[in-house]
Structure 1
Amino acid sequence: MNELQYGYIKRNLEFSFQAKTSRGEIKTHAAYLVYAFHPSNPTLKGWGEASPLMGLSIDGTDNFEEQLSTILAYFNEGNSPLSVDLTSFPAVRFAIETAQLDLFNGGEQIVFDNTFIYGKSIPINGLVWMDSIDNMLVQAVTKIQEGYTCIKFKIGAHDFDVECKMLEQIRKQYPADRVEIRLDANGAFAPDDAVLKLKELARFGIHSIEQPIAPRQLDEMEEVCGKSPIPVALDEELIGLDPEEHGAKLLKFIKPKYLILKPTLLGGLGMSAKWVRKANEHEMDWWATSALESNIGLNAIAQWTAVQKTSLPQGLGTGNLYTNNIEGPLLAKAGALHFLPQNAWKLPHPELD
């Protein structure tokens, strides 16, 4: 494994719309497409992706590219990735892991032998991005009309009563037995009134809410999880934690209903699998969510998800976000992510970029 050589190509992914998040509007997202090859056959490459989110990933720093270049140069000197502690670089670990898996499986973007690549689609939620209330309603209705039966709203940016009216409008048209609603507060609620807000939101038949209060408030989150009528899912709370060292204690104390697994933020597929095992031990469910990766990262997460035992809608509908994504067989349509082998991958060429 330490005989492999590594390189990367940077691509600034351009959003096809105004992408507004709890951390402000983003127009581009830097994707670092990492490739691995053996010197005896340099034309055969395996691909991974390191695309940390600024302001959220622990390796989302201004000098990330410099750090990535230094790490890959160290590997290219003959040092094994296994000899390096990449805890502080979860996106790099994800990229190296998937590039190796792809290479060892023939360099055809097959990370695992799984049902997804043979035609079994993965159910996904339709994401409603932060925007004006009117535009969020339009997004939601459009997704439902396209065939999505699970809709996820980002909330916390508008007045709470206005957001409640938005959900009420959706529920008047689409009852809970027809459309599942998930919420993501991104830690927007204050601990002292979070439970009151969750009780108010519960009347709209909400499936779950992600991270109602900001992470690292363990006592407050434990109380919220215990009193909330809406099942709580942990998201940002997991970032930077080792599932073996901290995961068991965290889950036993807070007792969430769900975990949100983002391999780019958690340190790869292997680390995400450890969180799955911890969730199973505590009888909790989970779903995987992309972190705005290009189709290379999304493909790896989807294939990993396909080998897990889960039937919940996943957060993997981000492939259509960009005007310059890596073209390939992934297609999000009618509430599912599909793999269309007739749509060949159009991968970058390192020697040309």
Structure 2
Amino acid sequence: MKIKKISVYSFNVKLRSPFRIALGTSITSSGYLVRIETKGGLIGFGEASPSSKILGDDMKSCLETLRSLANELVGSDIKSMEELERRIAKVGGSPSARCAISMALWDLWARIHNEPLYVLLGGARDRVETDYTIGIKGIKETVEEALSLVKMGFRTLKIKVGEDPKKDVERLKAVRDAVGDKVNIRIDANQGWTYEEALWVINQIKDLDIQLIEQPLPANDLRGLAKLKARSEIPIMLDESVHNAYDALIALKLNACDVINIKLMKAASIREALKIAYIAEAAEIPTMIGCMAELQVGILAGINFACGLNVVKYVDLDADLMAEQRLVSVNTIEIPYRFPLRSPGLGFEDKDINYDLLSKEVEVTKD
């Protein structure tokens, strides 16, 4: 079955409230919806969520790469995902663009085989439990949001830190006091601390039953992370340090982490994300499936990935819940669980897309 047409639409959706982390503040979710149509009439969908600070791409470079990939792939047969993924990697460019194309092709491939994507990825389970992330804000606001989320049914909170070690500790202590000991708390510094600051924070919060500390040091400081891991009573998870399979191999070789956070956008393809997962599994290291600022399409791909593989122990798929509007009119959450759709591929159809949120086609390629 050959690719007939690749279409791209942009979106810019306002968040319910500003989302602040150590790397900056976001007020919108911006990206591209990718739609790939075959000559047989099947349609697959993908989503790109560019990030200049983490992925090194932006809306402009993402679109340029999408154009290059469209010219490369239109007319190609979808029978070999391996070959298509290799060609995507060879084009290079924007990671989020490559991921969006990969996502749409895997969606199509699963539709061709008449199975939900998570089944073809392994079918380990039919739902996963997600956390919900609280951005950096004042103590009162953090506690209020934490209590509200727990009341809604979330059992795991991920709290952003990394701007001020002293304030970070105060916020974490206040949240633990407020929610009690039955709620899991993970924290994410987004590279915001120095080694000395991270070690100090760890010593201050070691009795708060913190589940994980994500990316406490700069991404390229793997030796510092290994040193910190050796002294930390709390498991260390790497995010920005691990984009691809090679990064995972180096991090594990240096014993720099206890957990790896896999994000489809960072990996730039589902194939590369699978490689990271299998490397981690071979090293007996659990993984998390996380997200950038994706809306429903990207999050659905993450849900399918998490449900496919047992090595995914932790789930942080909440970005779409922070947006004011929905890109796809389907439900994939029963708090605190996220579940894949049971229809083939990612499970939704063209009629489920809210095209009112999208620009006119910014890219249409036909053979």
The answer on whether the counterparts of 2:260 and 2:280 sit within 8 Å (CA) in structure 1 is yes
How many Å apart are 1:136 and its aligned residue?
A: 1.2
In the alignment, structure 1 residue 218 sits paired with structure 2 residue 219 = no
| 1:107-160 residue CA offsets vs partner (Å, 9 max, x unmatched) | 899433379999943101121122222111111111111111111100123x43
For 1:21, the equivalent position in structure 2 comes to 21
The answer on whether the counterparts of 1:185 and 1:212 sit within 8 Å (CA) in structure 2 is yes
| C-alpha spacing 1:193/1:12, structure 2 compared with 1 (3 Å) | closer
The answer on whether the counterparts of 1:119 and 1:338 sit within 8 Å (CA) in structure 2 is no
For 1:149, the equivalent position in structure 2 comes to 155
Question: Map of 1:51-90 to 2, 5 A cutoff?
Answer: 51-60=49-58, 62-76=60-74, 81=84, 82-84=86-88, 85-90=90-95
- The structure showing larger relative contact order (alpha-carbon pairs under 8 Å, at least 6 residues apart) is 2
Question: Map of 1:291-306 to 2, 5 A cutoff?
Answer: 291-306=292-307
In the alignment, structure 1 residue 191 sits paired with structure 2 residue 195 = yes
| C-alpha spacing 1:113/1:184, structure 2 compared with 1 (3 Å) | same
| 1:296-348 residue CA offsets vs partner (Å, 9 max, x unmatched) | 11111101110111573410122222223213323434322245779965225
The answer on whether the counterparts of 1:46 and 1:109 sit within 8 Å (CA) in structure 2 is no
Of 228, 235, 241, which aligns to 2:239? 235
In the alignment, structure 1 residue 162 sits paired with structure 2 residue 179 = no
For 1:140, the equivalent position in structure 2 comes to 146
How many Å apart are 1:13 and its aligned residue?
A: 2.1
For 1:116 and 1:269, locate their aligned partners in 2 and report how far apart those are by CA, in whole Å: 13
* TM-score normalized with structure 2 length: 0.84
| 1:196-247 residue CA offsets vs partner (Å, 9 max, x unmatched) | 22111212111110001111112211111111121100000012xx41x443
For 1:12, the equivalent position in structure 2 comes to 12
The answer on whether the counterparts of 2:303 and 2:339 sit within 8 Å (CA) in structure 1 is no
Give secondary structure in 1 for the equivalent of 2:302: helix
For 1:77 and 1:344, locate their aligned partners in 2 and report how far apart those are by CA, in whole Å: 24
The answer on whether the counterparts of 1:211 and 1:235 sit within 8 Å (CA) in structure 2 is yes
| C-alpha spacing 1:183/1:95, structure 2 compared with 1 (3 Å) | same
One-letter code aligned to 1:69: R
Give secondary structure in 2 for the equivalent of 1:148: coil
One-letter code aligned to 1:91: S
For 2:138 and 2:62, locate their aligned partners in 1 and report how far apart those are by CA, in whole Å: 33
For 1:334 and 1:78, locate their aligned partners in 2 and report how far apart those are by CA, in whole Å: 40
The answer on whether the counterparts of 1:330 and 1:337 sit within 8 Å (CA) in structure 2 is no
| C-alpha spacing 1:93/1:65, structure 2 compared with 1 (3 Å) | closer
Of stretches 145-154 and 68-77 in structure 1, the one that deviates more from structure 2 is: 68-77
* TM-score normalized with structure 1 length: 0.87
Of stretches 227-236 and 276-285 in structure 1, the one that deviates more from structure 2 is: 276-285
For 1:248 and 1:118, locate their aligned partners in 2 and report how far apart those are by CA, in whole Å: 24
For 1:203, the equivalent position in structure 2 comes to 207
Q: Which has the higher helix share?
A: 2
**Aligned-CA RMSD value:** 3.1
For 2:6 and 2:107, locate their aligned partners in 1 and report how far apart those are by CA, in whole Å: 13
Runs of at least 5 residues in structure 1 that lack an aligned partner in the other structure = none
One-letter code aligned to 1:125: D
Identity, % of aligned positions: 18
